[in-house]
Amino acid sequence: MFKNIMVPVDLAHLEVLEPALSIVADLAKQYDAHITYVSVTANTPTSVARTPQEYEQKLDAFAQSRHQVHGQPVSIKVYSSTDPVANVDKQLVDAVEETGADLVMMATHLPRHLDIIMPSHGGKVATHTDASVFLIRVP
Amino acid sequence: MDKKPPNRPPEEPESAGIPAPDGPANLIDTDYVIGQDNITTSTMGVNLDLHGKVFTISSILVLLFVILTLALQDTIAPIYDAVFSFLTGNLAWFFILAANVFVILCLGLIISPLGKIRIGGADAKPDFTYVGWFSMLFAAGMGIGLMFFGVNEPLTHFGTSFDGGSWAPLAGAEGDAAGAAALGMAATIFHWGLHPWAIYAVVALSLALFSFNKGLPLSMRSVFYPILGERVWGWPGHLIDILAVFATLFGLATSLGLGATQAAAGLTYLFGAPESDITMILLIIGITIIAICSILAGVDKGVQLLSKINIAMAAVLLFFVIAVGPTLLIATGFFENLLNYFVHLPALSNPFGREDANFSQGWTAFYWAWWISWSPYVGMFIARVSRGRTVREFLVSVLLVPSVISVLWMTTFGGTAIDQYVSQGIEAVRNAGVDLQLFMMLEQLPLSQITSFVAILLVIIFFVTSSDSGSLVIDSITAGGKVDAPKPQRVFWAIIEGAIAIALLLGGGLTALQTMAVSTGFPFTIILLVACYAIIKGLMSEPKAV
């Protein structure tokens, strides 16, 4: 059913993503799917990396460590942006196209009033792509 | 200096030791992790990520100054004035000398081999097209000033030169209309040409260099790394950042308040809108709401788009005035004014032994302090959008191109107004208040209803482009140099700006607090001189681009 699962990750908030990542691993094993970990990072220094290149190396290391856990083939894709907070949704939608993913799995927060002005990234991506989207609610 | 352990995510310790790639840039070796002093919290569904000390102290300081100014207006306004008069009166030479240093440094870098170095490392690609990039730096840098002073300043300097008296630039040109016009234009271009843009360029280049090439946070304090080393992460750094927030927030809020007064005067003049507090408050609220939409849409789709619209409209207005105004006069005037500027430049920029104290202190030193107090905000914003440009490309675009455009703008608007007065004997423009002079000048030309409307729209959008980019800058400084802090924070700053503008508009004290904000130009002049040293030191340690 699913051949290529795209998983947006933010290395700055890995602790929040942990439950979602194990579900990704289970599903990938179930369908024997390839996993692409995708990040949108700032091109200015961030708390994770001081250059986009450094971020890419760290995401690669992260992907390899996940590979050790679930054994499925992995790859990564990093986008750097002047304003990642504002551009992340559009970049992720583009990334679905570029990685050829047929399923996007991402962690999201519970619905809240603020979503009216600032919708969740997951919700935004789901309404702008043809791929299946699996939003995992992190309590 | 106490070094706190880096708070990297525990899941990926194996990747923490991976060195940054060789070649493209030369990162500074520091253990500081961006955001390590930040407080992250989540209240009522809103996530926050703020630098504890910088955010808290600057918020308290801002609140304190607003309350003090509102409560003790009559006592405190003279104090602000006295501080500022002391600075421009006694230290005019310092401002003028420092600004000359900035211009010489920038021009020197353009021709030196260091100009080949690329911001963001040798392989970095620009994030924005030339048009988008240029629109943003121009809209943030001086768009709004050009609208108000494009007519006023050439006409004022022409007047004082022609009439003679103590406010004339240099020796004046009493009774000589052509000479007074030439001197007036040269003096105006001096204030809007190479010097202000060099001030912005120094801040922007130093920040861009230390952030993109050296890997330090995008915050004023990073520029001090070559001098203070690891101490920039402590109190000296906090103070620099707090001062930057103070200057930016009060600079923006007071000019938003005063700008609303001026825009309201324009609306009253054009459409007979009531010149009441309600009109002005509605204007501030409207500007703030559009600014919030813009910052939510982000730099690319919000700020860049608005800036492009803004610059396109300004260009249409400019070329319209050139076409229907005294076209030939403007065309020849452009080159004459450029020449006059260079002829008078040595005398105008001379810091010592000036005979025209009123002009050099009241105008030039005032302007330099003003530009410099704006430089943390404009410089930081320019820095953020300039990754991928070479130093030479950057300086030509931030220094030379805007200066040439300023010359064209001043020639067109100021030259037309002077021509209306000298050749056609129209006195209306000269007699009008600062906020109406542009509209009076346009009234003498065809289609004035449309052009005046475009002008007022331009004023409003220029305020939006200042407010949105300013909020992004303040947010980044108070988030410890993070540009990826949660969105509600930038909205918060835009609202605070509007709120301060409204409070001061109703309670009084806009001009007083603006004076205080401009006074921060003094400490920032020292900071900028350090930035000059940091730029040279930083560039020398970069690997040469191929």
pLDDT given for residue A116 in this prediction: 67
Query: Mean pLDDT, to the nearest integer, of B44-68?
Result: 84
pLDDT given for residue B14 in this prediction: 37
pLDDT, tens digit, 9 for 90 and up, residues B60-74 = 988 888 888 888 888
pLDDT given for residue B3 in this prediction: 39
What is the C-alpha to C-alpha distance for residues B75 and B260, in angstroms, rounded to an integer? Answer: 25
Buried b (16+ CB within 10 A) or exposed e, B154-190: bbbbbbbbbeeeebbbbebbeeeeebbbbbbbbbbbb
In a domain, A115, yes or no: no
Alpha carbons within 13 A on the beta-carbon side of B205: 37
What pTM value is reported for the model?
0.90
- What tokens appear for B478 in the block? 């108070």
Q: How far apart are the first and last CA of chain A?
A: 28
Q: Which residues of A touch B (CB under 8 A)?
A: 11-15, 18, 41-48, 50-51, 53-54, 57-58, 61-62, 65, 81-87, 112-114, 117-118
* Helix/strand/coil (H/E/C) assignment for every residue in B103-149: HHHHHHHHHCHHHHCECCCCCCCCCCCHHHHHHHHHHHHCHHHHHHH
Cβ–Cβ under 8 Å, residues A105 and A5 = yes
Neighbours of B393 (CB within 10 A): 18
Q: Is the pLDDT of residue B11 over 80?
A: no
Band of residue B12 on the pLDDT scale cut at 50, 70, 90: very low
Query: Mean pLDDT, to the nearest integer, of A46-50?
Result: 87
Query: Mean pLDDT, to the nearest integer, of B134-154?
Result: 86
pLDDT given for residue B267 in this prediction: 86
pLDDT, tens digit, 9 for 90 and up, residues B184-231 = 999 999 999 999 999 999 999 999 999 999 989 999 999 989 888 889
Of B9, B384, B488, the CB nearest to A11: B9
Q: Is the pLDDT of residue B313 over 90?
A: yes
Q: Is the pLDDT of residue B9 over 60?
A: no
Contacts of B130 (CB under 8 A, 6+ apart): B397
Phi first, then psi: give them for residue A75, nearest 5 degrees. Answer: -150, 170
Q: Is the pLDDT of residue B8 over 60?
A: no
Contacts of B192 (CB under 8 A, 6+ apart): B142, B145, B146, B149, B153, B403, B406, B409, B410
B20 contact residues in A (CB cutoff 8 A): 50-51, 53-54
pLDDT given for residue B20 in this prediction: 44
Cβ–Cβ under 8 Å, residues A115 and B417 = no
pLDDT given for residue A137 in this prediction: 82
Q: Environment class of residue A69 by beta-carbon count within 10 Å: exposed (0-12), middle (13-18) or buried (19+)?
A: exposed
In a domain, A119, yes or no: no
Query: Mean pLDDT, to the nearest integer, of B89-95?
Result: 91
Band of residue B270 on the pLDDT scale cut at 50, 70, 90: confident
pLDDT given for residue B201 in this prediction: 95
In a domain, A112, yes or no: no
Q: Is the pLDDT of residue B17 over 50?
A: no
Query: What is the count of structural domains for chain A?
Result: 1
- Work out the mean pLDDT of chain B and round it to a whole number: 87
Cβ–Cβ under 8 Å, residues B505 and B310 = no
List all residues of chain B from 115 to 144 with a beta carbon under 8 Å from chain A: 120-121, 127-128
What are the residues facing B225 on neighbouring strands? Answer: none
Cβ–Cβ under 8 Å, residues B161 and B172 = yes
Put simply, the answer to whether A50 touches B215 (Cβ < 8 Å) is yes
pLDDT given for residue B544 in this prediction: 63
Domain boundaries, chain B: 41-540
Q: Is the pLDDT of residue B469 over 50?
A: yes
pLDDT given for residue A115 in this prediction: 66
pLDDT, tens digit, 9 for 90 and up, residues B250-268 = 888 888 888 888 788 888 8
B24 contact residues in A (CB cutoff 8 A): 51, 53
Q: Is the pLDDT of residue B6 over 50?
A: no
Q: Is the pLDDT of residue A44 over 60?
A: yes
List all residues of chain B from 386 to 415 with a beta carbon under 8 Å from chain A: 387
Query: Mean pLDDT, to the nearest integer, of B265-283?
Result: 85
Cβ–Cβ under 8 Å, residues B473 and B381 = yes
Band of residue B25 on the pLDDT scale cut at 50, 70, 90: low
pLDDT, tens digit, 9 for 90 and up, residues B341-398 = 999 999 999 999 888 888 999 899 989 998 999 899 999 999 999 999 999 999 999 9
Pick B44 or B115 by higher pLDDT. Answer: B115
In a domain, A41, yes or no: yes
**Domain span at residue A24?**
4-105+124-137
Q: Is the pLDDT of residue B23 over 50?
A: no
In the CATH scheme, what is the code of domain B41-540? 1.20.1740.10
Alpha carbons within 13 A on the beta-carbon side of B426: 17
